[in-house]
Homo-oligomer: A and B are copies of this chain.
Amino acid sequence: MTATPVLDALGADSSLASLAPRADFPLLAAQPALHYLDSAATSQKPQVVLDALTNFYTTANANPHRGAYALAAAATDAYAGARETVARFLGAKDADTLVFTRGTTEAMNLVANAWGAAHVREGDEIVITALEHHANFVPWQQLAKRTGAHLRIVELTADQRIDLDHLAALLTPRTRVVAITHVSNAVGSITPVAEVVRLVRETSPAIIVLDGAQGAPHLPVAFDTLGVDFYAFSGHKLLGPMGIGGVLGTRARWLECQPWQFGGDMIEWVNDHDSTWNVLPHRFEAGTPNAADAVGLAAAVRYLEALDMRAVREHELALLRSAHEKLAGLDGLTIYGPPPEQRSGVLSFTLADVHPHDLATILDQHGVCIRAGHHCAQPLMRRLGTSATARASFYVYSDASDVDALVHALVEAQRIFASVAD
């Protein structure tokens, strides 16, 4: 693919190198012509993560917590070590307040059931926003339905930020839960967490639950100073393996939770007709833990720590600015979300006359992988008045050539659809 004159006219900034060497990522290294711009859906994995998985299975594979032999101790230590590493990465001193789950979705269901079901009563209020991913929308919607609580939805500003005035207006002493995304996966908006915490603490006893699925991968996170009660995330979006993620909570809130899933490891004593529960974090991790993928996740966060999360943010912002500028120059293109400074590396847009689904297919032919659809955010799509947008998202391995390929392919798509007279 060669750059077209159109591109040059748009002022491609070819100087923006990737932050992490593409060579570190076997899938990307094997496909030099691939422009993977769907990291908000899932990230590619560096070799160190694959090595960590293999290494666990070939040197430490046993069932953690349950064996009195050295191999089982190695598995237990590896799993506990992964917990320490991931908790540190997210700024939590007390590693036992990190509960591993399959990902953000299971984490939100855990909080909604373990805390929510025990504390939300008929007539109480649950506050979410119109920006939420279904994972942080439907569990609360269904909890409200089940308990008879009222679901309140914070509406958005014209550029898809959370309307803080509306949030303030919705908060009452009956608000029991405020569940908000840290960063929107659909349009990239970054939530001003300190503002939200201040507003909530002023007016209500609610717990604050942050959906960090797009926060943890793209921004520095310091849980202990955020002031929220729970913070959920997915490993596969931050260079880690599939099948692992987790949720941090304050110890006080965890102690208010009821166990949600039952089985091995989470019990203390099983009598015939009742049981008692193990301590944190085990109480909320029923069954054989996914130690291998936890170890893989720990390798991923060490890789990110070496890159430095502030540098990750800077890198994505630079790419976003450049892409934003170039896309804004295309005819008929609408970009959603606030200005780049208030967005993570997500570029959500529509192109007049070309449906996002068609865009994705045509871009794919140019090796450009973008997402087209509702991004698991149908409530937001309804408010945007569209059924779908196209979304390009960046990460540590993205560089200027990805942006250029995106713009080039968009111009091509426009040409195809313009080639037919009305």
Binding site for B on A (CB under 8 A): 26-27, 30, 34, 36, 38, 41-42, 44-45, 49-50, 53-54, 57-59, 61-63, 66-72, 102-106, 108-109, 133-135, 137-139, 141-142, 144-145, 151, 153, 234, 236, 241-244, 260-265, 267, 269-275, 286-293, 357, 360-361, 363-364, 368-373, 376, 378-379
Minimum CB–CB distance from A107 to chain B (whole Å) comes to 9
Residues of B within 8 A of A363 (CB): 69
Q: When A38-B63, A269-B378 are in contact, do A236 and B288 touch as well, CB less than 8 Å?
A: yes
Minimum CB–CB distance from A362 to chain B (whole Å) comes to 10
* Complex Cα–Cα for A113 and B57 (A): 33
* Complex Cα–Cα for A219 and B265 (A): 26
Residues of B within 8 A of A72 (CB): 38, 41, 369
A67 and B371 form a contact (CB under 8 A): yes
A360 and B287 form a contact (CB under 8 A): no
Minimum CB–CB distance from A231 to chain B (whole Å) comes to 17
B58 and A41 form a contact (CB under 8 A): no
A27 and B58 form a contact (CB under 8 A): yes
Q: When A293-B242, A364-B69 are in contact, do A286 and B63 touch as well, CB less than 8 Å?
A: no
B287 and A106 form a contact (CB under 8 A): yes
Residues of B within 8 A of A368 (CB): 69
Q: When A26-B58, A71-B36, A288-B103 are in contact, do A63 and B41 touch as well, CB less than 8 Å?
A: yes
B109 and A242 form a contact (CB under 8 A): no
A145 and B274 form a contact (CB under 8 A): yes
Q: When A361-B68, A371-B67 are in contact, do A141 and B273 touch as well, CB less than 8 Å?
A: yes
7 contacts between A and B (CB under 8 A): A42-B62, A68-B372, A102-B287, A134-B264, A139-B263, A141-B273, A234-B287
Minimum CB–CB distance from A347 to chain B (whole Å) comes to 16
Residues of B within 8 A of A144 (CB): 273
Residues of B within 8 A of A361 (CB): 68-69
B26 and A57 form a contact (CB under 8 A): yes
Minimum CB–CB distance from A130 to chain B (whole Å) comes to 9
Minimum CB–CB distance from A297 to chain B (whole Å) comes to 11
A61 and B45 form a contact (CB under 8 A): yes
Minimum CB–CB distance from A243 to chain B (whole Å) comes to 3
